[in-house]
Amino acid sequence: MNTAMLYNPFEPLTRHTWQDFLEKGYRDFVLQRLEWPDISKGKGFLLSPYSTLEKAHLHAAELGAKEGKALQIPVDINKIQQLLAVNSGYRVFVNRFYEENWDKRMLRVYQGRIINYLRSNTNFKRKDPIDILFTLEHGRVWALISDGKTTKKVKAIDLIS
């Protein structure tokens, strides 16, 4: 796998970003696993800040049992700080994209993988005009694939890995 060809649209969580969240008063977060082609299995996480405990719990309720959970500061601060440690081996990202046209870049960078997925996992024909829309829901990137008549929703990781 050519790592130069990989693209991860999420903003990395830095100590500065983390401190900024705390200074802005965020105390409720959801920490969940993140699968992406350039992240070793089990080593990636996505952190979503929330202004209220209720919003964090609504997000966490959408996740599977081992996928993620709501965290609250100060009780859970050590869990996040351990992941941010320089030699932890973990990569943590913020639930936001670092560039505006992330979805278009995804299509460009992963075009070959997307075509292979469409050929082997869908009934779409080569001549069909196909639209792919990437969305982010509850910390998961989804791809909505449509030919104008049929729409299929799949995890983006299945499409690009």
| pLDDT tens profile 122-161 | 887 777 788 999 999 999 999 999 988 888 999 999 999 8
What tokens does 67 get? Answer: 């996928």
Q: Which residues pair with 91 in a beta bridge?
A: 44
**Backbone angle region of 117, left / alpha / beta, with phi > 0 → left and psi within -120 to 50 → alpha:** alpha
Average pLDDT estimate for 15-28? 95
Q: For the beta carbon of residue 116, count every other beta carbon within 10 angstroms.
A: 12
Q: Strand order in 131-137's β-sheet?
A: 131-137, 140-146, 151-155
Instruction: Determine what percent of the chain is predicted with pLDDT higher than 90.
Output: 73
Average pLDDT estimate for 4-20? 88
Say what the pLDDT of residue 139 is: 93
pLDDT category, 4, cuts 50, 70, 90? very low
d(CA 118, CA 129): 12
CA 35 to chain centre: 7
List helix spans (H) across 62-145: 77-84, 102-109, 111-121
Lowest mean pLDDT among 91-105, 114-128, 145-159: 114-128
90 touches 39 (CB < 8 A): no
